[in-house]
A and B are shown apart, each in its own frame.
Chain A
Amino acid sequence: MSVASTTSFDGIELDRAGLARRRRLRLLPYALLAPSILFLGLFTYLPVIRVAIESLYDKPHGTGAAASFVGLGNYGKVLADPAFRQAALNNLIYAVGVLVPTLVLALAFALAVQRSTRFSAALRTVFFFPSLVPLVAAASLFFFIFLPGVGLLDYYLGKLGIRGPNWLGDSDIALWSVIGLTVWKNAGYYMLFYIAGLQNVPRDAVEAAMIDGANAWQRLRFVILPALAPTTAFVTVIALIQLLTSVDHVIVLTRGGPSNATNLLLYYIFQSAHENFDYGKAAAATLISVAVLLAISFGSLRIMERGARGHG
């Protein structure tokens, strides 16, 4: 009986199986994306919503009291906080102060090492190496380099008869010391993008400029730099995002001091949440920095996408 029924319904069975199969195939892409979307949802989208809501409440730490709705009060508190203003200003100085020398050095390094000689290869390794070590390890090294009197910097400056300032203890100098560390750490990484970018500079354009009598500087200024514009834009964006979101060295070297001179946005957030347990403030500051990150990125979506396509 059962044999007969399957035979008689064979055609329909097949159709139904085909339909189910097609439906499964239609759902397949979503199933494949599901694990990624789950974790992106939990740790990228949800936190933004969460922090937006939490920023509207005041939740006293340790008292067990319920969170009370304070509207935009936390934003008012954050924006009025001199430490936050200082951190925002510092971050701006830090971003520009790192970005400009880093880009110049990255391009100079790339131009210097683009030939495939052994010397170039060795230089490339030396310049790139700092970007491979943990920022914490770099901070440990620079802790000693900046040590007053006996540190690497003062020791050799002393041999030249120069008395260095208190690199990390002087509030006028400390931020620039942190900037110096960051330039050293990042320049070699961005050099790689310029090396890749230089390979895409049209050779005949450079040669044509040479025939026209352009000197090295003019060739750089009028031919190579314009051709590298996409690379520069791309590096600028990833550098800015990075400069807003890494403070490991500040945590180890200065803890934002002396007197907030090296406080950066993310360190301010870290401090508010992890040390002062002021979550409302930390949430509001997080949302402000998220807004800054999105503002930087949205204007450059195309650049990011081009970068994601293997760059160049």
Chain B
Amino acid sequence: MARLDRHLWPALTVALLSAVAFLWASPFLWTLVASFRPEGAGSADMASLLPDLHPTLENFRNALESGSFGLYYMNTLIVVVGVLAVQCVTVSLAGYAFARLRFPGRDLLFYAFLLQLMLVPPALIVPNLATVVDLGLYDTLPGVMAPYFASAFGTFLMRQTFLALPRDFEEAAAIDGAPWWAIIWYVLLPMAKPGLVAFAIVSITAHWNEFLWPLMVISSPANHTLTIGLAAFTLGAESGKEWGVLAAGTLLVMAPLAVAFIAFQRRFVDSFVFSGVKG
């Protein structure tokens, strides 16, 4: 009995886990299968998870032609890179100030930063839209980016990263007369790279996937991002029943992050563990 237990339980656990994993992956498996399935396969068996014997790229071609995916990729890329570039500057400077400098009001300001972790931008879409309109940024990509230029999460992450670094190098540089910006740029940032990379991964993922805020800010199709394009595409496919094309479109939107994730899994996972408080 004890021996049976010893062999039976692990086998049962593996079987159960495999079943759950299959269930968890089935939406993606279906997307893969459906996106390569020829259109004429009939809609009755569209849900089948069995791959078709004659895979085709037709759906991808149709998806790329029916939506302006090239344009959407470009717009999303501009938003993601633009947000990240500005964030890297703001969070490095603020992270350095909180990690290394003593000044009156530091704790108070630190808590003021904390507030952004709770009042996440999506909760404030209505007043923020009004601000974006006032700034003349309505229906522009900078308008989509602006609320994310300061990041409490990034500031904390950089603060933690800087705090973990030894002070010897900076002190040596300071004795040599290096100004503060040279200390940050030449001494601290090269050592803080893992922190910046972790932050970049979280930031890129968040803004690549973002939907509600761009939907509010953007009105002209020329400024649509990938997620807006996909949503419009989904609602359009509803009537047309072009499920293969929809699957292909969804895959196109997910692909870049998915590929990056598979290539740098460890880094992604570590960054996301750190990101519980992303804002």
Note all chain A residues with C-beta closer than 8 A to B128: 43, 47
CA distance A234 to B273 in the complex (A): 12
Say what secondary structure dominates the interface of chain B.
helix
Contacts of A114-158 to chain B: CB distance below 8 A = 119, 122-145, 147, 150-152, 154-156
The interface size bin for chain A is 35 or more
Chain B positions 140 through 158: 1 when the CB is less than 8 Å from some CB of chain A, otherwise 0: 0000001101111101100
Set of chain A residues within 8 Å of B13, measured between Cβ atoms: 112
Chain B 99-137, CB within 8 Å of chain A: the 1/0 string? 001010010010011111111111111111111000000
Binds A, one of B51-59, B65-73, B185-193, B203-211: B203-211
Q: List 17 additional contacts besides A35-B149, A129-B25, A144-B47; criterion CB under 8 Å.
A: A33-B94, A33-B97, A37-B150, A40-B113, A46-B127, A112-B13, A130-B24, A131-B272, A136-B209, A139-B234, A141-B28, A144-B34, A251-B212, A270-B216, A286-B125, A297-B118, A298-B118
List residues of chain A with CB within 8 A of the CB of B26: 152
Looking at the complex, which one of B24, B48, B49, B250 makes contact with A126 (CB distance below 8 Å)? B24
Judging by beta carbons under 8 Å apart, are A36 and B113 in contact?
A: yes
Pairwise interchain contact B209-A134, C-beta atoms closer than 8 A: yes
The interface of chain B, by Cβ under 8 A from chain A, is 13-14, 17, 21, 24-28, 30-31, 34, 43-49, 89-91, 93-94, 96-97, 101, 103, 106, 109, 112-131, 146-147, 149-153, 155-156, 160, 180, 205, 208-212, 215-216, 226-227, 230-231, 233-235, 238, 243, 246-247, 249-250, 253-254, 257-258, 261-262, 265, 268-269, 272-274, 276-277
Residue of B nearest to A25 (CB): B180
B27, A145: Cβ atoms under 8 Å?
yes
- Contacts A112-B17, A129-B25; is A44 near B274 (CB within 8 Å)? no
| A310 nearest in chain B by CB position | B160
Whether the Cβ atoms of B24 and A127 lie closer than 8 Å is yes
